[in-house]
Amino acid sequence: MKKTRSNTFILEKEIAWEPAGEGIVRQIMGYDGQVMLVKVKFEQGAIGTPHTHYHTQTTYVASGKFEFTVNGEKQIVETGDGVYIEPDAEHGCVCLEAGILIDCFSPMRADFLKH
């Protein structure tokens, strides 16, 4: 039985950006059943619609500025900052300055994979 996992090396220029909402695209940068790393690019003004999922999520702001809301608490984060989102916490963001977020999920987001 083949394990669910990504290739060992994931090269940005060799994988497509996938739509992830209006003004938002993503690339899956590595995963197995336990963990998934996703790069998410936002245009200024794009909205990460509030949602919940059972996965633990940590997010690193690689560039840009975002207003995050996690369980009703708002905070502006920018390049170099991080966000921890516990399982089932409602969260979303508004992109204040175009940028890239690096999301890490545990376990992996099976719903992000094409079947």
The pLDDT assigned to 114 comes to 78
Q: What is the pLDDT of residue 37?
A: 98
Predicted model pTM: 0.94
Task: Quickly count: other Cβ atoms within 10 Å of residue 46's Cβ.
Answer: 20
The DSSP annotation for 16-37 comes to PPEE-STTEEEEEEEEBSS-EE
In a domain, 69, yes or no: yes
The CATH number assigned to the domain holding 102 equals: 2.60.120.10
Residue 43 lies in a domain: yes
- Other beta carbons within 10 angstroms of residue 87's beta carbon come to 11
> What is the total count of domains within the chain?
1
Whether 4 is covered by a domain: the verdict is: no
User: Residue 3: its pLDDT value, please?
Assistant: 73
For residues 42 and 110, what is the distance between their CA atoms, to the nearest angstrom? 22
Domain that holds residue 95: 16-112
* Residue 53 and residue 86 in contact, taking contact as beta carbons nearer than 8 Å: no
Segments of the chain with pLDDT less than 70:
1-2, 115
Q: Is residue 1 part of a domain?
A: no
Phi, psi of 48 (to 5 degrees): -85, 100
